[in-house]
Amino acid sequence: MRFYRLLLRLYPAAFRAEYGDDMQALFAEGRRAAAGRRAGLLALWIEAVADVLRNAVPAHWDILRQDLRYAARALASAPGFALTVVLVSGLGIGANTAVFTVLDAALLRPLPFDRADRLVKLWERLPGYGRLEASPANYRDWRNATTAFESIGAYRGLSVNMVGRGEPRQLDGAALTADVLPMLGVRPAIGRAFTPAEDQEGAAGTVLLSDGLWRTAFAADPAVLGTRVLLDGAPHVIIGVMPREFRFPGRDAALWTPMRFASADFEDRDDNFLHVIAKLEAGVTLARARDEMAVVARRLEREYPAANTNTGIAVTALRDGVSRQSRLLLFALAGAAACILLIACTNVANLLLARGLARRHELAVRSSLGAGRERLARQLLTESVLLAAIGGAAGLAAAALVLPALEQMVAMALPIAGEVSIDARMLSLAIGLTALTALGFGVVPSLRACSGTALTGLAESTRGGVGGSRERLRGALVVVEVAASIVLLIAAGLLIRALVRVQATDPGFRPDQVLTLRTSLTMPKYEATARRAAFYERVLSEIRRLPRVTGAAYTSFLPIAMGGGIWAVQVGERPQDRTQGHTASLRQVTPGYFATLGIPLRLGRDVSEEDTLERPFAAVVSESFARRYWPGENPLGRRFRIAFQERTVIGVAGDVRVRGLERTSEPQVYLPHRQVPDGGLVWYAPKDLVVRSAGDPAALLPDIRRIVREVDPEQPVSDVQLLSDIVASDTAPRRSQLRVLGVFAATALLLAGVGIHGLLAFTVSHRTPEIAVRMALGARTGDVVSMVVRDAVRMALTGVAIGGALGYAAAKGIQGLLAGVPAGDGWTFGAAAVLALAMALAGSVLPALRAARVDPTMVMRAGS
């Protein structure tokens, strides 16, 4: 019998209470009838178990349906309350779902490659320099020396002009060694991958297309295999099309060619341009691979002391391609979203507590009509779950809406699709958050509503419910809201200060009214320096003749847009050792570059068209370069070695923030564009055109395109941008992170204000009789108002104190994002406190006015 009673526990409690005894009696009668017959008894038990299993779920469903119907009616009768709860919980769920989806895509989800957890990158590591790409010679030696990896391959970024079908295009991609694609476990969707034979110097050119390029440039033609295209003038045969989701090494890769090494590539160990990717042998840990590579690094140091002294080898998981800063940013956003959810839950819990109090009469009536305590709690919880479910749906919709704005925060450099989409993981997260929210704001109020005092509501009439533990709980919830919003305000405030500070940084040039675009000259067509010079001369002289153009010039790379191009520097007899940071960022420029960009020339002269190979090698250096090597001396006429030549300083220019506003840049060296032997330094051949206009620089574009076309019809124009946009893009991640955090902080502040208002309004309406008595006893309006406002200020101050401490801790956590603004910035903390107090006062205005308007005679008469 005990077992049958246990079995009955599967039914809802209310059902059990009603019919449990009856069913036990029924079962007992069945047992009596089957007494003594083993088979009969067995059949009875089997039937009983099957019966319970068959009916328990429908019985629960019956009650749920009833409760849902009741809940829907109850909520429909309080639409303002229902709407507020749905909006507030939707906000919390939506913010969290969106942020965690981005976090998931950027940090958690495995990369879309075979055994992605075993993929690593290998780097050269130099003191004071961090990680550096590998030189081909070191790469070759690593390959031959290690056992920790199943395979090792290399790739380098590629930027080529493609002439095939349609307009010439400027495309980004990568050159891969034949090991890379098999290592990633990716096969072309059409055609074949590279063979090791294609890695060899002199093999016929082959190319793989991205799905996107295949669709846009070749109209998704399956017969594209075997088609010949020209990449930078060299013939390549299309051998395959990669699957749509393949993005490697970054999101914008459009084509891949085999990586070829010339024997000359292995001569200079300081020529670092290879990204080395490897797959750990099964069972080999990252730590073991690091130990092994440390041994290899020490051996190479001994063998090649000139180039490899102090050169270590770093092994990092491919998944960790996200920079520390964007990682920190994502965690900060996740923290902010969690704050919002906390505030939303406390707010809704407060609303439900107030509503539970207001409904005590109704609950008491139902209780006296025979509804059990469990039944009522279940009913209230159903209401919360229903609200949270609607809120969850609203949140999911909101998240889907804001996701595109958050996508910018996923680093471009990750080999994943740019679109962060709503998928099963996101859905389950939203459902989980909804459940958490419903429990968070549903359980406590429903338990409280059903506790003894609540059910005595009939006798107690409508008074009471204020004072004691209940009000303390509600007050504490409001304090939590204020504290959480203070934390967000402080974080947002500090980031605003940091943004202002970064934006105030002088980039070293005047970015406004400058149009930039790229004409990457095709090699080997333009390998001869004179041929390039002729191109520049014709293009620039035509452009300078356009109306309102005040300057035009070419450079190897635009500042901020490209931070690399670093060379070792040797001054005097000091040995050339890049490990001590004797490096400079190298650019070839045409005359007029400094004037066009507004970089001040402090000493000497600009490069000129007369600086040819027949004249002594010349260079313009930056102020920091001159200060470092010839402090307090005149740098003009001094000599130093860079890029294979000894050069004489002819001028000193202002420093430029080549690596962006927030990073320290190497000193700069500018070379005259004609002082390069044919085929030398081709990567540095000027390709970026800068044009300054007295009017709207963008209006020049059609004329510039025409001029380029007239000079060389096969030359594509790409990367058209305003220089001011390039500078702005440097702070774009900051601005988007600030927008999100700012919206979060504003929402939190508003919610906290609503919370304060709700609590005070409720308190005042329930304390009306008490207020009336006080006024009848001589209290003035001012006393009553200040009583209400005091409550608000007390809660706000408590929240500010707690939130201030937490905010300081949070600020310490995001110090890396603050660009030098101290975590305890007084202005920010003060402003946050003032805002919170202002919000508390604003929230108390209406309740205070209502308290002031209490008419003692009316209230006393109504109460008697």
Partner 1 sequence: MPDTRPDPDELLPLPPAAFHILMAVADEPRHGYAIIQEVAARTGGELRLSAGTHYRSIQRMLEQGLLLETRERPAPELDDERRRYDRITPFGAAVARAETRRLAHLVRLARQRGFAPGRA
Asked if 851 and 772 count as a contact pair (C-beta separation under 8 A), the reply is: no
Asked if 399 and 101 count as a contact pair (C-beta separation under 8 A), the reply is: yes
Site string for partner 1, 383-422 (x = CB under 8 A): ----------------------------------------
Candidate residues 17, 56, 116, 203; the one interacting with partner 1 per rule CB under 8 A: 56
How much of the chain is helix, strand and coil, in % rounded to 5?
A: 55, 15, 30
Candidate residues 13, 17, 55, 372; the one interacting with partner 1 per rule CB under 8 A: 55
- Is residue 52 involved in binding partner 1 (CB under 8 A)? yes
**Of 17-25, 487-495, 509-517, 721-729, which part binds partner 1 (CB under 8 A)?**
17-25
CA distance 783 to 767: 14
Nearer to partner 1, 33 or 197 (CB): 33
What values do phi and psi take at 312, rounded to 5? -100, 180
Candidate residues 3, 5, 26, 37; the one interacting with partner 1 per rule CB under 8 A: 26
- Minimum Å distance from CB 365 to partner 1? 14
**Of 48-56, 478-486, 708-716, 835-843, which part binds partner 1 (CB under 8 A)?**
48-56
Nearer to partner 1, 22 or 614 (CB): 22
E strand map for 414-531: 514-518
Nearer to partner 1, 46 or 204 (CB): 46
CA distance 764 to 774: 13
**DSSP tag of 572:** T
CA distance 518 to 448: 69
- Is residue 362 involved in binding partner 1 (CB under 8 A)? no
- Is residue 129 involved in binding partner 1 (CB under 8 A)? no
- Minimum Å distance from CB 71 to partner 1? 17
**Of 47-55, 89-97, 780-788, 838-846, which part binds partner 1 (CB under 8 A)?**
47-55
Q: Of 723, 588, 568, 732, nearest to 657 (Cα)? A: 723
- Is residue 34 involved in binding partner 1 (CB under 8 A)? no
Interior angle at CA 659, CA 580 and CA 600, nearest 5: 100
Nearer to partner 1, 4 or 214 (CB): 4
- Minimum Å distance from CB 72 to partner 1? 16
**Of 49-57, 163-171, 231-239, 491-499, which part binds partner 1 (CB under 8 A)?**
49-57
Q: What is the largest CA-CA distance in the chain?
A: 120
- Minimum Å distance from CB 386 to partner 1? 20
E strand map for 223-273: 228-231, 234-241, 255-258
Radius of gyration over every alpha carbon of the chain, rounded to an integer in angstroms = 36
Cis amide leading into 404 (omega within 30): no
Cis amide leading into 591 (omega within 30): no
Asked if 63 and 378 count as a contact pair (C-beta separation under 8 A), the reply is: yes
Nearer to partner 1, 48 or 403 (CB): 48
- Minimum Å distance from CB 39 to partner 1? 17
**Of 58-66, 160-168, 278-286, 577-585, which part binds partner 1 (CB under 8 A)?**
58-66
Say if residue 417 is exposed, middle or buried (CB neighbours under 10 Å; 0-12, 13-18, 19+).
Answer: middle
Nearer to partner 1, 66 or 456 (CB): 66
- Is residue 368 involved in binding partner 1 (CB under 8 A)? no
Candidate residues 21, 506, 610, 725; the one interacting with partner 1 per rule CB under 8 A: 21
Interior angle at CA 657, CA 652 and CA 662, nearest 5: 150
What values do phi and psi take at 372, rounded to 5? -75, 165
Q: Of 215, 217, 231, 309, nearest to 270 (Cα)? A: 309
E strand map for 655-739: 668-672, 688-693, 718-722
Say if residue 572 is exposed, middle or buried (CB neighbours under 10 Å; 0-12, 13-18, 19+).
Answer: exposed
Nearer to partner 1, 43 or 237 (CB): 43
Candidate residues 5, 42, 46, 47; the one interacting with partner 1 per rule CB under 8 A: 47
**DSSP tag of 591:** T
Nearer to partner 1, 52 or 145 (CB): 52
Nearer to partner 1, 59 or 225 (CB): 59
**DSSP tag of 134:** B
CA distance 43 to 51: 12
Asked if 60 and 12 count as a contact pair (C-beta separation under 8 A), the reply is: yes
Nearer to partner 1, 362 or 633 (CB): 362
Dihedral sign (CA 594, 595, 600, 606)? positive
Candidate residues 31, 62, 627, 728; the one interacting with partner 1 per rule CB under 8 A: 62
For residue 48, the surrounding DSSP H or E stretch is helix 38-76
- Is residue 51 involved in binding partner 1 (CB under 8 A)? yes
- Is residue 74 involved in binding partner 1 (CB under 8 A)? no
- Minimum Å distance from CB 22 to partner 1? 5
- Minimum Å distance from CB 7 to partner 1? 10
Nearer to partner 1, 27 or 155 (CB): 27
- Is residue 58 involved in binding partner 1 (CB under 8 A)? yes
| Residue numbers 221-240 binding partner 1 by CB under 8 A | none
Asked if 565 and 557 count as a contact pair (C-beta separation under 8 A), the reply is: yes
- Is residue 54 involved in binding partner 1 (CB under 8 A)? yes
For residue 287, the surrounding DSSP H or E stretch is helix 286-303
Nearer to partner 1, 69 or 861 (CB): 69
- Is residue 23 involved in binding partner 1 (CB under 8 A)? yes
**Of 55-63, 598-606, 647-655, 735-743, which part binds partner 1 (CB under 8 A)?**
55-63
- Is residue 24 involved in binding partner 1 (CB under 8 A)? yes
- Minimum Å distance from CB 40 to partner 1? 14
Candidate residues 13, 19, 425, 787; the one interacting with partner 1 per rule CB under 8 A: 19
Candidate residues 37, 66, 458, 861; the one interacting with partner 1 per rule CB under 8 A: 66
Say if residue 447 is exposed, middle or buried (CB neighbours under 10 Å; 0-12, 13-18, 19+).
Answer: middle
- Minimum Å distance from CB 36 to partner 1? 20
Give the type of residue at 488.
L
- Is residue 427 involved in binding partner 1 (CB under 8 A)? no
Residue in this structure with the two tokens 């779950």, named with its chain if needed: 385
**Residues near partner 1 (CB under 8 A), total:** 24
Which residues of the shown chain bind partner 1 in the complex (CB under 8 A)? 11, 15, 18-19, 21-27, 29, 47-48, 50-52, 54-56, 58-59, 62, 66
